[in-house]
Amino acid sequence: MITSRTHPKLLDIYCQITENQLSFNYNNQTFNIPHPNSKDHITLNIFGYETYGTLVSKKLYEWFSDYLDLPCRLMKVSLKKNGPVLPKHGGKVGDQVGFGDQAPILILSEASIDDLNKRLDDPIGMERFRPNVIISGVEAYDEDHWSCIQIGTVTLCV
């Protein structure tokens, strides 16, 4: 497993997933790759848990390997087998996550990123945290203390 914690250069790559393709952009270089349609799943060990993935694109493996100066493969999560969401991260019995190491949803408020940027010499964008849900109209770091949030008809709890 390669993450931006150990390889911060990954944070300079912008990714987008659409219905038909994966797009990666770095320094005005863009790769558009159709979603893999292979049914061949590879067993992976992600943070100590067995899960499955599908190989994405040899062209991208080579590019990422050169970029990180490290042999690597790009994988798409398979929904056939996922790891547990750990109790220390709010997981309950039966909760699962694909390749994530903590939880499947990340919530971040605009006020929190604004507060952080006031303390940095070089402000960073919210995309660096890759949140799934962005909240406005709350105080900085309020989201750190919520046990549940309702979005439409969906309630998310830790």
Cα–Cα–Cα angle for 128, 134, 137, rounded to 5 degrees: 125
pLDDT tens per residue across span 99-122: 565 666 789 999 999 999 999 999
pTM of the model: 0.57
Residue spans per domain, the chain: 1-82, 105-158
Tokens coding 48: 């100590």
* Distance between CA atoms of residues 24 and 16, nearest Å: 7
Q: How far, in Å, CA of 142 to CA of 20, rounded?
A: 36
Residues 66-89: tens digit of each pLDDT = 999 999 888 877 666 566 666 777
CA–CA separation, 87 and 30 (whole Å): 38
Q: CA gyration radius for the chain?
A: 17
What is the Cα–Cα distance from 126 to 53, expressed in whole angstroms? 28
C-beta neighbour count of 64 within 10 angstroms:
23
